[in-house]
Chain A
């Protein structure tokens, strides 16, 4: 299985802060990676696919980058509705595997 290692596991930030979350794959996955946001009691929602393509309707303050084994999700200016848990998910091989998640909460 391809292991996905996310960091940090949690972070505290203020509205307006720039936030960066990283995800590392145990082997090269090209750019077959998505970023998903999950709020309490809700299903995950795709923000970014193909490592850097913004899903329709997702605000432009979210961006993604990376290729191979190293990937980054950036929120340029954190908004109140962005406090949530974020997961990376690799779509390169089977089984699909998620990172452990990064919980973003209010400082």
Chain B
């Protein structure tokens, strides 16, 4: 059974870098058709997609965050990471890691997020 677990500081100072890690157990981050995703949810709001790093190490980012975010994959330790630079109070949120899976159905392929971490709360404050 695949499990994801976020870890990192719960409090970050404004203008600093937020760094989170998602540890994957029960499967390999380098298996084909997996896209390792970060999503955040500000208090009382809906989720926002941050981006993903694929099983090949390729990345896709939300343009609204692209200038400040870096996602990476570490196959030796089976985890993936998020770095968000120059944070402000607007970056306060619950941060989730998730696996987006590309799965075949008949002649077609579909994506969906089938496994999620429990989420970690990050507060940006001095």
Q: In the complex, how many residues of chain A place their beta carbon closer than 8 angstroms to a beta carbon of chain B?
A: 26
Which positions 16-70 of chain A face chain B at CB distance < 8 Å?
31-32, 34, 36, 38, 42-46, 49-50, 53, 55
A1 cross-chain contacts in B, Cβ below 8 A: 63
B62 cross-chain contacts in A, Cβ below 8 A: 94-95
From known contacts A43-B119, A50-B105, infer whether A98 and B112 are also in contact, taking CB-CB under 8 Å: no
Question: Nearest Cβ in chain B — how far from A49, in angstroms?
Answer: 3
Q: Are A91 and B47 in contact (CB under 8 A)?
A: no
**For the complex, would chain B's binding face be called helix, strand, loop or mixed by DSSP majority?**
strand
Q: Are B116 and A45 in contact (CB under 8 A)?
A: yes
A-B contact count (CB 8 A): 63
Q: Are A98 and B46 in contact (CB under 8 A)?
A: yes
Chain A proximity mask over B25-39: 1 for CB below 8 Å, otherwise 0:
000000000000000
Bound CA–CA A98/B42 (angstroms) = 14
Bound CA–CA A97/B47 (angstroms) = 9
Taking a contact as CB atoms closer than 8 A, the residue among B46, B100, B110, B114 that contacts A101 in the complex is B46
Question: Nearest Cβ in chain B — how far from A55, in angstroms?
Answer: 7
Question: Nearest Cβ in chain A — how far from B3, in angstroms?
Answer: 12
Bound CA–CA A38/B96 (angstroms) = 13
- 27 of the cross-chain contacts (CB-CB < 8 Å) are A1-B63, A31-B110, A32-B111, A36-B113, A43-B117, A43-B118, A43-B119, A44-B47, A44-B96, A44-B113, A45-B116, A46-B112, A46-B114, A49-B112, A53-B110, A87-B47, A91-B110, A94-B60, A95-B51, A95-B63, A95-B64, A96-B100, A98-B46, A98-B47, A98-B49, A99-B46, A100-B46
